Homo-oligomer: A and B are copies of this chain.
Amino acid sequence: MLTVDAVVFGYTKEKGISVLLVKRKYPPFQGKWALPGGFVDEGESLEDAVARELKEETGIEVGYMEQLYTFGKPDRDPRKHIVAVAYFALVRPETVTLVADTDAEEAAWFPVEGLQDLAFDHDAILQMAIERVRNKLTYEPIGFELLEEKFPFSDLEHLYTSLIALETGENLPKFMERRNFKKKFMSLGILEELDDYLHYPGSGRPARLYRFNEKAYYAYKKRKGMGFEL
């Protein structure tokens, strides 16, 4: 008995990092919120299974996905021994519309901060996913998968700040100091400085927009060893 579960992260300036959950329609854990997921079909690859379940239960397709860990404790499911291969994924919440479907009553975004009491061992899975994304953020440019194509630098900064602050107990590493962070990031040469500006009405100076330059990143990877090591 093999299942796949997905920890899908989204980000908005207002609500910070959120995770996509579905409300369980049937026992066990009926009525509880859980990670989307389900059984792997015979002859179906794990990645296909995750994509399919996500589509079925929430209606979304993700941009970036990666295997997280496999959870196999015999008692993680009260019915019987069911092994779950967990994935984490990143999407731009703007670009997706949630639909509830057959197996799940509802699908919705929840800010991850202090989230708990999920079905099965999904609390632990979520925790691990957060940890993983947070680490990964500092050595691979996956943050852009959560931002719009063009974004003000402050979005990037805010994304990093809030994700790294989660569970780090609020004391940010030194490289997150505003001026240093920008200097460092810019020096990588993987951000394109656009001639577009964005102004949220109601406040502050308009912000210049940036875009992630994938080609430049490959060049960087070739030049340096790998990753980008913030």
Contact for A73 among B45, B83, B85, B225, CB less than 8 A: B45
In the complex, the answer to whether B70 meets A70 with C-beta atoms within 8 Å is yes
In the complex, the answer to whether B225 meets A40 with C-beta atoms within 8 Å is no
Nearest chain B residue, comparing its CB with the CB of A47:
B72
Closest Cβ of chain B to A129, distance in Å, is 15
Contacts of A74 in B (CB 8 A): 43-45
Closest Cβ of chain B to A212, distance in Å, is 24
Contact for A72 among B73, B80, B85, CB less than 8 A: B85
In the complex, the answer to whether A46 meets B67 with C-beta atoms within 8 Å is no
Contact for A45 among B2, B47, B72, B225, CB less than 8 A: B72
Encode A46-76 as 1/0 by CB contact (under 8 A) with B. 1100000000000000000001011011100
In the complex, the answer to whether A72 meets B173 with C-beta atoms within 8 Å is no
A69 to B47, CA, bound (A): 13
Contacts of A81 in B (CB 8 A): 42-44
Closest Cβ of chain B to A172, distance in Å, is 11
In the complex, the answer to whether B44 meets A173 with C-beta atoms within 8 Å is no
Closest Cβ of chain B to A50, distance in Å, is 10
A148 to B83, CA, bound (A): 36
A83 to B47, CA, bound (A): 12
Encode A145-180 as 1/0 by CB contact (under 8 A) with B. 000000000000000000000000000010000000
In the complex, the answer to whether A70 meets B67 with C-beta atoms within 8 Å is yes
Closest Cβ of chain B to A132, distance in Å, is 13
Q: What are 24 A-B contacts defined by CB distance under 8 Å?
A: A2-B2, A2-B83, A40-B72, A40-B83, A42-B80, A42-B81, A43-B74, A43-B81, A44-B74, A44-B81, A45-B72, A45-B73, A45-B74, A46-B70, A46-B72, A46-B83, A47-B72, A67-B69, A67-B70, A70-B70, A70-B85, A72-B85, A83-B85, A173-B225
Binding site for B on A (CB under 8 A): 2, 40, 42-47, 67, 69-70, 72-74, 80-81, 83, 85, 173, 225
Closest 10 CB pairs of A and B: A46-B72, A70-B70, A43-B74, A70-B85, A43-B81, A45-B73, A42-B81, A45-B72, A45-B74, A2-B83
